[in-house]
């Protein structure tokens, strides 16, 4: 839902098809986005496996992914910096909105 859809790709090729459908003008960032997701999952897995720090919420992985995208934006040239940072900000703000919705759903209704 962070990108406005609940459709989830199930394979490498579906990922690229999904990106083309929902992010048609960001083709040069498809691989960077996939690398950021994979790296964030890998690091979360390592923390859980080797440091015994369990993942409390999947939002941790999304925010880690956004951090990678922001960092890697500095490696881009020209408008690439602004575009990649803008994309990371969009995912981060959508995720924060989703976190608020999830928190509101967990709270008991007053009077119950």
Domain boundaries of the chain, sorted by first residue: 20-106
Mean pLDDT of 34-61: 94
**pLDDT tens across 73-101, in order?**
999 888 889 999 998 998 899 889 988 88
Average pLDDT of the segment spanning 94-109:
82
Distance CA 9, CA 58 (A): 17
* Residue whose token pair is 């939002």: 59
pTM of the model: 0.79
Cα–Cα distance for residue pair 98/96, rounded to 1 Å: 5
| pLDDT value at residue 110 | 61
């Amino acid at each position: 839902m962070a990108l406005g859809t609940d459709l989830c790709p199930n394979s490498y090729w579906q990922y690229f098809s999904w990106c083309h459908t929902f992010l048609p003008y960001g083709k040069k960032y498809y691989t960077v986005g996939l690398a950021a997701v994979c790296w964030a999952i890998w690091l979360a897995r390592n923390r859980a496996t080797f440091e015994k720090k369990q993942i409390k919420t999947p939002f941790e992985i999304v925010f880690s992914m956004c951090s990678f995208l922001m960092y890697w934006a500095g490696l881009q040239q020209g408008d690439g910096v602004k575009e990649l940072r803008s994309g990371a900000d969009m995912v981060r703000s959508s995720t924060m909105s989703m976190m608020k919705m999830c928190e509101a759903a967990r709270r008991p209704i007053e009077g119950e």
